[in-house]
Amino acid sequence: MRSAAIGGGSFSAAIVLVLLQVKLTSVALHVSFAAAALGIPIWIVVWQYVQPYLLYGPDSYAHFRKVGSIGVATGLAVAGLITLFVSFSALLWHMSLWVALVFSLFSLAAVIVIARHGQSVLAAVKLVDNGPSA
């Protein structure tokens, strides 16, 4: 999650820096700029939120697995992903509505595939931990 947070924050900062160099001539560019700017502090919080778990190592993992901790981290990461998705989609929209729509559909499909895969892996891990049921 730390690497994703640093990458997401960097991508958001790059979008902001590029848009600072052009005149925001469309609604799409304004949306992109606002979403990217909002995303930067969110990604910084995600990065710093998970940093102590990396610093303190396995002894801290039980704390992270608590619903409050993992829920906050997940919620912040999702918020960061949404701001980045909106920002990049709006950039595409500025150039071509169709490209933005196709990107959005492919992104939705990717989310579904990744979520299903995650659930499949979790089920396999639980099966190994608990053994086959009789």
Per residue in 39-94, pLDDT tens?
999 999 999 988 888 889 888 888 888 768 888 988 999 999 999 999 999 999 99
**Same-domain status, 30 and 50:** yes
pLDDT for the residue numbered 28: 97
**Same-domain status, 106 and 40:** no
Q: How far apart are CA 55 and CA 101, in angstroms?
A: 41
The set of residues, in sequence order, having a beta carbon less than 8 Å from that of 8 and lying 6+ positions away, is 39, 43, 46, 80, 81, 84
Stated pTM of the model: 0.84
**Same-domain status, 71 and 114:** no
pLDDT band at 2 (very low <50, low <70, confident <90, very high): confident
pLDDT for the residue numbered 20: 96
Number of domains in the chain: 2
pLDDT for the residue numbered 133: 58
Helical packing angle, 97-130 and 67-95, nearest 10°? 160
The single-letter code of the amino acid at 45 is V
Q: What is the mean pLDDT of the chain?
A: 92
Which range among 11-25, 34-48, 63-77, 98-112 shows the weakest confidence by mean pLDDT?
63-77
Question: The domain containing residue 82 runs over which residues?
Answer: 2-95
**Same-domain status, 72 and 12:** yes
**Same-domain status, 52 and 41:** yes
**Same-domain status, 115 and 81:** no
